[in-house]
Structures are given as structure tokens and as C-alpha cells.
Structure 1
Amino acid sequence: MSELFIVVALYAKDGKEADLRRDLINVVEPSRREEGNLRYELFADQSEPRRFVFVEHWASREARDKHHNEGDHIRYFHEHGAANVERTEIACFLDRIA
């Protein structure tokens, strides 16, 4: 198993920035407490208030997959908060090379 780094940028629907910000903040702490999580940070773009960026670091792809597929807080976001997302701008799964 090797570490996994992820960068995801979500773009809020017009007028839904505050709602999406709240919903995304609600997944951060439960995600940080999950087994295999090494880093889970949420950022807001200084120049574009509709863009939110996650930077994640997982001990393994299996840990990340368990988080994404089994986490109650993630499931809740997909059922409720995802409606405020206009689009996913980027989703990069990265291997550290240096």
C-alpha cells in the first residue's frame, strides 16, 4: 500500500457559496478522525468565492475509498450538500515522486 494525495476543487452554484461552505466544513473534522487520514484540509479561493479546494493525504487508497464509500458524513453530503455544487473543476489523485 502506498500513500495517496488528492486535490479536489468544487465550484458552488451561484448564490449557494455560503451553503456549500457550511456543508463542506461539516465533513472536515469527521474525515480527519478516520483511520488512514493523514491530512484533510479545506480552502476557499481568495479570488473566486465560489471555488473550494480540498487537499487530502491518505495512508492508502483503501483508506480513502473506505472514507468515500462508507463515511456517514460523506454520504450525508452527497445526499444533501452536493446539490449546491455546480461542478467539480478538478479531481487529481497524485503519487509523490520527489
Structure 2
Amino acid sequence: MSELFIVVSLKAKAGKEDELRRDLSVVAEASRREEGSIRYELLGDQDEPGRFVFVEEWSSLETRTRHHEHSPHVQYFHANGMNNVEKAEFAHLLKRVV
């Protein structure tokens, strides 16, 4: 098994913070139940409302790819919820060092 860690930051469009929070919460809750999902956290920036960070841990790249490309809740978000995103600030795929 090859663990995969992912950190993603999204910034909401002005006035769309609550809508984006709601949409991302749906994604997080459904993603936690997926095969291969070890950890799937949605965090909000304390100093800047409207900045959201996902911290994900997957059992493998394959399970994460299946999640990202085929999960209905992710596909729905990409088709609809991304309208509330000003920008994706970063997305890092990470591996454990120690």
C-alpha cells in the first residue's frame, strides 16, 4: 500500500463564502465514506473567511484518482460548485517522509 496525502486550498468569490462552505462540506462528508479514504478534512482559515483547505489521506493514488474522476459528488461540485471559487490557490500531492 502506498499512502498519498493531498492538501488543496480554494478561495471563494466575494459574497459566495457560505455557498462554497456548504458545497465543500457535502464533498467532504461523502468523500469520507469512499473506499480508500483514510482522512478527508475540510478546514477554514481563521484569519480569512472564504479560504478553505482540504487535507486528504488516501490508501493509494488509484483510490484517489477513482474518487477525483468518478465520484458523483466530486463531478457535481466541478460542474456547479466551482462557480463559487475565485481561485484554486494550491494543490499538493505529498508522500510521507518519516
TM-score range, shorter chain: over 0.9
Query: 1:28 Cα deviation (Å)?
Result: 1.1
SS of the residue corresponding to residue 87 of structure 1 reads strand
Find the aligned partners of 1:29 and 1:54 in 2 and give their Cα distance: 12
The residue that corresponds to 1:80 in the other structure is 80
Q: Distance in 2 between matches of 1:44 and 1:29?
A: 15
Query: Hey, what's the Cα distance between the residues in 2 that align with 1:67 and 1:73?
Result: 9
Question: Would you say 1:89 and 2:89 are equivalent positions?
Answer: yes
Task: Give the structure 1 partner of residue 59 of structure 2.
Answer: 59
Aligned-residue sequence identity (percent) comes to: 60
Q: Where does structure 2 lack aligned partners over 5 or more consecutive residues?
A: none
Q: Structure 1 residue 72: deviation in Å?
A: 0.2
* Structure 1 segments unaligned to the other structure (5+ residues): none
Counterparts of 1:81 and 1:54, CA distance in 2: 15
TM-score by length of 2: 0.98
Report matched runs for 1:1-98 at 5 Å.
Answer: 1-98=1-98
- Distance in 1, matches of 2:38 and 2:25, equals 17
Residue type at the aligned position of 2:90: I
Per the TM alignment, residue 57 of structure 1 is displaced from its structure 2 partner at its CA by 0.0
Kindly report the root-mean-square deviation, in angstroms, between the aligned alpha carbons of the 2 structures.
0.7
TM-score (norm 1): 0.98
Cα distance in 1 for partners of 2:26, 2:70 equals 16
